[in-house]
Amino acid sequence: MSLIDECRGMRDEDLERGLKFLCAHGRHNLARLLAHMAEYDRRQLCAKKGHPNLYSYCIRSLGFDEGEAYRRIRAARVARRWPEVLEFIRKGELHLTALIVLSPVLDDSNRREWIRKARGKTRRELEALVAAECPFPAQADCARRISLPRIGFDAAIVLMTLIDRAKQVLRHKHPEGRLEDVLREALEILLERKDPQRRLGLKPGEAGGKPAAPAGTRFPSAWRGGRYIPARVKRAVWRRDDGRCAWRFEDGVVCGSKDWLEFDHVRPFARGGRSDDSRNVRLLCRTHNRLAAEEAGVSVGPARA
């Protein structure tokens, strides 16, 4: 018998009684879940399990979707700082969304007052209350809003000076001087110089590549069988691993992160692993490169991608 069939066979009063029981039980379990997540986060156990962060652990190991992972992590971090909120969750006086809405405005001096105001309110009611009592500054200019409060006044002046100069330099190409045109041009130049994926197609002698060596050329020992990974090997590894972290979890799923990529020796160089063979080189994110080094008992010596 399916769960639906089981419910269909209940009397009205039993169905309602069971529903209320399950809701109360669910709130109790949610409070305990957030407490466990808060402590797991404090201990940074996700890194020991091969995950770059708690978000990845929640999705890959706990089976959350992206939204669930985000909401529960944020609520767990509020609970980690102010454990008393879990009792309100357990009693049903606060819901998960309330903790997320309140998280930007809570501090040690006002948390009790805000919790009192939030009890029993819907998300819309709570958002309206927060907006009325803690209005955020106007967002007239996106560039100013990001620069001034986040990186400081002096840094903002330097940034705006650079933008103004870039507009002057690019005036012939972009006569209107629009910010998006300037930023796009700057990012294209940056990626041409720094993005390994854009260097994949480079031929020997081109910018960023290694010139072909004449026959009989003797390379330094660091290049000949040393830790140095030749450009041709890097290109082959990047293509094979699709520019992503190749670390495999216990369930066989590949990490796939594109952040903080580093070239790693499958068999450590200190133990005879070759650098000139793409079969012994892989792409790993920084977290998994360090984890691989810990498991192998060697020091990390990454080649940044």
Decide if 218 is inside a domain.
Answer: no
Decide if 159 is inside a domain.
Answer: yes
Residues 193-204: tens digit of each pLDDT: 888 777 666 444
**Mean pLDDT along residues 70-81:** 94
Residues 209-220: tens digit of each pLDDT: 343 343 444 444
- Are 17 and 117 within one domain? yes
Tokens of 113: 């007052």
Decide if 213 is inside a domain.
Answer: no
- Are 157 and 251 within one domain? no
> What's the mean pLDDT when you consider all of the chain?
82
Q: How confident is the model at residue 148 (pLDDT cuts 50, 70, 90)?
A: very low
- Are 115 and 15 within one domain? yes
What's the domain count of the chain?
3
Q: What amino acid occupies position 190?
A: L
SS (H, E, C) the chain: CCHHHHHHCCCHHHHHHHHHHHHHHHHHHHHHHHHHHHHHHHHCHHHHCCCCCHHHHHHHCCCCCHHHHHHHHHHHHHHHHCCCHHHHHHHCCCCHHHHHHHCCCCCCCCHHHHHHHHCCCCHHHHHHHHHHHCCCCCCCCHHHHHHHHHHCHHHHHHHHHHHHHHHHHCCCCCCCCCHHHHHHHHHHHHHHHHCHHHHCCCCCCCCCCCCCCCCCCCCCCCCCCCCCCCHHHHHHHHHHHCCCCCCECCCCCECCCCCCEEEEECCCHHHCCCCCCHHHEEEEEHHHHHHHHHHHCCCCCCEEC
Q: How many angstroms separate the CA atoms of 218 and 224, rounded?
A: 9
Q: By mean pLDDT, which of 88-92, 106-110, 223-227, 290-294 is the weakest?
A: 223-227
User: What residues make up the domain containing 159?
Assistant: 142-194
Q: How confident is the model at residue 30 (pLDDT cuts 50, 70, 90)?
A: very high
Alpha carbon 100 to chain centroid distance? 18
Q: How many angstroms separate the CA atoms of 173 and 34, rounded?
A: 54
Residues 85-113: tens digit of each pLDDT: 999 999 999 999 999 999 889 999 999 99
Sheet of 281-285: strands edge to edge?
A: 281-285, 261-265, 303-304
- Are 188 and 109 within one domain? no
Q: By mean pLDDT, which of 46-50, 129-133, 217-221, 253-257 is the weakest?
A: 217-221
Q: What amino acid occupies position 265?
A: H
* pLDDT at residue 136, as a whole number: 58
Q: How confident is the model at residue 258 (pLDDT cuts 50, 70, 90)?
A: confident
* pLDDT at residue 225, as a whole number: 57
Tokens of 27: 């709130």
Decide if 287 is inside a domain.
Answer: yes
Please say which residue of 133, 153, 170 terminates a domain: 133
Decide if 206 is inside a domain.
Answer: no
Q: How many angstroms separate the CA atoms of 190 and 211, rounded?
A: 22
Asked whether the CA dihedral 207, 212, 214, 217 is positive or negative, the reply is positive
- Are 251 and 297 within one domain? yes
Q: How many angstroms separate the CA atoms of 294 and 15, rounded?
A: 53
Q: How confident is the model at residue 152 (pLDDT cuts 50, 70, 90)?
A: low
- Are 124 and 32 within one domain? yes
Asked if residue 282 lies in contact with residue 266, where contact means CB atoms within 8 angstroms, the answer is yes
